[in-house]
Amino acid sequence: MAVISVATRYKTTVKEPGVPGVLKMNEERFVFVPNDPRSLMKLNVEFKNIKGHKFSKDGSKQALLNLTQDPEKGTGYIFEFDNFTDRNSCRDFVGRVLGKLQSVPGRPNEQSVPEKSAGAPLPEQLSAVEMERRIKLLREDSELLRLHKQFVLSGVLTESEFWATRKTLLGEDTTRMTKQRPGFKSAMLADVRPADGRTNKVTFSLTPEIIQQIFAEKPAVHRAFLNLVPSKMSEKDFWTKYCRAEYLNRTRNAVVAGAEAAEDEELAVFLKHDDILANEARRKIRRVDPTLDMEADEGDDYIHLPDHGILRDAQKDTAETETEVSRRTLSQDLNRHAAVVLEGRALDVELGDTRTVAEALAWSKQELLSKEKSEENVNLEKQEKVARMTDLEDLQAPRNPQYASLCIKDPREYFDSQQANALRALGGTEFGTNSLDLNLSKEEVYRHLKEQISEAKSRGLRNPIIRPDTALKVFSGLSQHLSSTRFQLGKNSQESALDRIPHRTKDDLMHHWTSIQELLRHFWSSYPITTAGLYNKVQRVKDAMGQIYQKLQEIKESSQSDFRHQVSLLVQPMLQALDAAFAHYDLEQQKRTAKSGAKPNGFVR
């Protein structure tokens, strides 16, 4: 027998400091002995009484293990450990023990058919997470709780069966963890704030968010960062230079910018054209699908070529500069920013160290590049596509259709030939109540009709056409019929039959309906019965259904006379469903008893 003994602290609530002591666990029970022999907090609990265990997350402030007795209320024995490894080993031990204990013993055979070997249900390995989820679901949905109480705690369904149909509910939690990642802000970088007039200082604020965005938008800066920091200059210097370059860009002083660029080569990096961007743009243009745009060429590369547009800060200076200082136009900035935002955030790295962020970004870009197809492949694809699109369908030979074309024959030849069949088949089936004497031949019948007509002619129209009392009867009958339908359907079209019956009856009926749904679901899913476990389940479910049937009958009979009709209308489909289930059960029973002994294993058709 495995035994664990650990030094721990026992508490009844999480907030208490706890009583220090030693916890010894073996396969049957656990014993807690406090260090202080005078304390009364001794525990000796069998694992049979423990229903589950909960534990706090690794890495949280306290390493807790909670052995729960009642899954719904959550009370139990809480132990705090000094470190997580101890707690985890205890937790695994407890999990194993509980798993073994909670396995349901196989039910005894009730019928003569022997059990299949796989018939005994497997013990359920419930993790604490699973338990928590279930408890949470039960707490949130009172209807589910009621169903659970009604069926599982009374033994009609086992836990596993109950939750088997609700996997989607339980699975919801996991999907919630994969949330959408937030992307970049669509507001453009506005990291430069002009001087506030009084002091001659310009302040820049660079948060890790902004830094990540800068790296994504300006690959040249990214490359410079990777190359220069920390080998040539510190991060702070790098950013100072960058901000200076930005500032110079903002001021409309091209000459100063040029001069400074000439002096300081690192600064020049920031002031030049972003050649990485240029390369990317060129490459993309080469890959443009010719079926979309045959004329795409370098002239369309407006992303980095500075030939038109207003410059940032609404300047329209188009003077040529001798130096390579780039002047980005507003449209270029906007386009680049938009492209980056739409691409999304490539990383999930937490924004801590700038260096790690930069490296991660570089690495992800490299990955992307390696995944791209080579130039030849791209060209091949393009050519294929061009060939397909420039197909001239008129000039090609007709292709045989892969399907047989629809051909509807002349209906006359079908219907006329069937007439003989029809006349033969017309065995007077629908002619029940009208006592037609088929022995009358046609002549007699026609003669009779003609007699009638001549009688009508000779008599002429009657006066009065109809007797007044008959007319009155007809009128009152019609009006009653009309008003009764109106009464039944209700004056308000939105009102349903359910709203008009008293609340308690309505609640009862709704409750029975959900119970019936649950039971029927389990009932029908157990057919065809292949194992003894299913057979037992069907028995249990059927008994429960019988009880509900009784209750429904009682409701129907005990409802007030005003509502009796509606109640019976509402109850009718439920009773029908239950009747169908019972009929099926009886049928299967008959078949089983007729065939018992013929099939060695429990397989029933």
Residue ranges binding another protein (CB under 8 A): 406-409, 411, 414-415, 418-419, 421-423, 425-426, 428-438, 440-446, 448-450, 452-457, 459-462, 465-467, 470-471, 473-475, 477-478, 481-482, 485-486
> Nearest-CA neighbor of 516 among 565, 479, 464, 571?
571
> How near is the Cβ of 577 to another protein at its closest, in Å?
17
Q: Which is nearer to another protein, 458 or 494 (CB)?
A: 458
How distant, in Å, are the alpha carbons of 212, 328, 337 from that of 306?
26, 7, 16
Looking at the Cβ atoms of 142 and 441, the one nearer to another protein is 441
Unique residue bearing structure tokens 């389990």? 522
Q: Which amino acid is at 579?
A: D
Backbone angles phi, psi at 56, to 5 degrees: -85, 160
Give least dist CB 569 to another protein, A: 12
**Cβ closer to another protein: 199 or 419?**
419
Q: How far is the CB of 2 from another protein (least distance, A)?
A: 54
Work out how close the CB of 517 gets to another protein at its nearest, in angstroms, rounded to a whole number: 22
Amino acid identity, position 319: A
Buried b (16+ CB within 10 A) or exposed e, 230-263: eeeeeeeebbebbbbbbebbeeeebeebbebbee
Smallest gap from residue 589 Cβ to another protein (A): 18
Going by DSSP bridges, is the β-strand pair 43-46/29-34 parallel, antiparallel, or unpaired?
Answer: antiparallel
Cβ pair 528, 604 in contact under 8 A: yes
- Min dist CB 572 to another protein, Å, is 14
When the beta carbons of 411 and 600 are compared against another protein, the nearer one is: 411
Provide the 8-state DSSP code for 396.
S
Q: What is the nearest approach in angstroms of another protein to the Cβ of residue 376? A: 45
Closer to another protein by CB, 177 or 420: give it.
420
**320-323 contact pairs (CB < 8 A, 24+):** 321/254, 321/258, 322/258, 323/254, 323/257, 323/258, 323/261, 323/262
DSSP state of 37: T
Residue 149 contacts residue 156 (beta carbons within 8 Å): no
CB of 347 to another protein, least distance (A): 52
Instruction: Return d(Cα 11, Cα 19) in angstroms, integer.
Output: 6
Distances 138 to 71, 131, 169, 238, 336 between C-alpha atoms, Å: 11, 10, 11, 57, 51
Of 369 and 406, CB closest to another protein? 406
CB of 436 to another protein, least distance (A): 5
Instruction: State CA 305 to chain mean position distance.
Output: 47
Name which of 149 and 481 has its Cβ closer to another protein. Answer: 481
Which one, 195 or 478, has the nearer CB to another protein? Answer: 478
| C-beta closer to another protein: residue 17 or 460 | 460
| Lookup: tokens for 63 | 């390493």
- Give 473 or 595: the residue with its C-beta nearer to another protein: 473
Q: How far apart are CA 217 and CA 336, in angstroms?
A: 7
User: Which amino acid makes up residue 173?
Assistant: D
Residue nearer to another protein on the CB measure, 342 or 474: 474
3-state secondary structure 51-79: CEEEECCCCCCCEEEEEECCCCCCCEEEE
Minimum gap (Å) between residue 428 Cβ and another protein = 7
When the beta carbons of 164 and 474 are compared against another protein, the nearer one is 474
Q: How far is the CB of 178 from another protein (least distance, A)?
A: 41
CB of 530 to another protein, least distance (A): 18
Smallest distance from another protein to CB 463, Å: 10
Looking at residue 561, the DSSP 8-state letter turns out to be H
Question: What is the smallest separation between the CB atom of 605 and another protein, expressed in angstroms?
Answer: 10
Q: Are 24 and 2 in contact (CB under 8 A)?
A: no
Nearer to another protein, 395 or 594 (CB): 594
3-state secondary structure of 162: helix
Provide the minimum distance between the beta carbon of 415 and another protein in the complex, in angstroms, as a whole number.
7
* DSSP string over 240-251: HHHHHHHHHHHS
Cβ closer to another protein: 2 or 425?
425
Where helices occur in 411-531 by DSSP H, the ranges are 411-425, 442-459, 468-489, 497-500, 503-526
CB nearer to another protein: give 283 or 448: 448
Share of the chain residues as helix, strand and coil, in percent rounded to the nearest 5: 55, 10, 40
Q: Can you tell me the distance from the alpha carbon of 456 to that of 215, in angstroms, rounded to the nearest whole number? A: 104
Question: Quick count: other Cβ atoms within 10 Å of Cβ 453?
Answer: 9
Q: Distances in Å between the alpha carbon of 50 and those of 21, 22, 348, 532?
A: 20, 19, 41, 29
